[in-house]
A and B are shown apart, each in its own frame.
Chain A
């Protein structure tokens, strides 16, 4: 069975603060993919990153960075110097080719960045 846990339901920060969104996953597959999506009020999912299970290298993209640690089954997402436009719901998700690529989403974390 696959499961994604985002323990933080809501986070509120002040602009320019750094914020980390946690994601913990469970899977029996050895090959799997982890994702982060942003969902603004419009509802459309915005793809942020995809990471396969064999690549534990951390990634940085502008103000965004991701920390993938297989030892703790975590794939955390950090926004540096947050901005009001970062306010959205963020979803972590997991899929595995061995499971028909079904994607399982975490419950989501609602981030509010205040000016």
Chain B
């Protein structure tokens, strides 16, 4: 299967700072990338969908100015949590589809964010 990586795997930051999470498709061109958030003992909730070269589409209730998504290339999407607060602490997972994986999503290993 296709491989998707995320970096960093975990991050701890102070309240008020911004954190950037990278999602890369390693062996295929990802025309679409998805960002999910998972709070402890809960399911994955889709935050936004981004198509390469265009603005991301955010799910209802997700603040686009707080969660900045950039999908500038076919292999890289970034999620920036701006002015992070403790309630943003969560597990963030990206997935990618495209190319030979056009109708399937391949998931990254996730990034655990802790905001102090």
Q: Which residues of chain B come closer than 8 Å to A104, judged between CB atoms?
A: 46
Does residue B63 face the partner (Cβ distance < 8 Å to A)?
no
* Selected interface stretch from A57-65, A69-77, A95-103: A95-103
Q: Tell whether A101 pairs with B97 under 8 Å between CB atoms, given A44-B110, A50-B104, A108-B43.
A: yes
Q: How many A-B residue pairs have CB under 8 A?
A: 46
B105 interface neighbour in A44, A91, A95, A106, Cβ under 8 Å: A95
Q: Do B107 and A45 touch (CB < 8 A)?
A: yes
Q: Which residues of chain A come closer than 8 Å to B97, judged between CB atoms?
A: 101
Q: Which residues of chain A come closer than 8 Å to B112, judged between CB atoms?
A: 43
Q: Do A103 and B46 touch (CB < 8 A)?
A: yes
A100 interface neighbour in B49, B91, B107, Cβ under 8 Å: B49
Cα A37 to Cα B93 with chains together (Å)? 14
How many A residues face the partner with a CB closer than 8 A?
20
Q: Mark B68-97, 1 if CB is under 8 A from A, else 0.
A: 000000000000000000000001010101
Does residue A105 face the partner (Cβ distance < 8 Å to B)?
yes
Cα A110 to Cα B40 with chains together (Å)? 12
Q: Do B110 and A105 touch (CB < 8 A)?
A: no
List 18 contacting pairs A-B, 8 Å CB cutoff, sorted by A: A33-B103, A33-B104, A37-B107, A43-B38, A43-B91, A43-B109, A45-B107, A47-B107, A91-B43, A91-B44, A95-B105, A97-B103, A101-B32, A101-B97, A101-B104, A106-B43, A107-B42, A110-B41
Q: Mark B6-44, 1 if CB is under 8 A from A, else 0.
A: 000000000000000000000000001010001001111
Cα A95 to Cα B110 with chains together (Å)? 20
Cα A93 to Cα B2 with chains together (Å)? 19
Does residue B61 face the partner (Cβ distance < 8 Å to A)?
no
Beyond the given pairs A43-B109, A101-B105, 9 more chain A to chain B contacts, judged by CB atoms under 8 angstroms and listed by A's residue number, are A33-B104, A45-B107, A47-B1, A97-B103, A103-B34, A104-B46, A105-B43, A107-B43, A110-B41
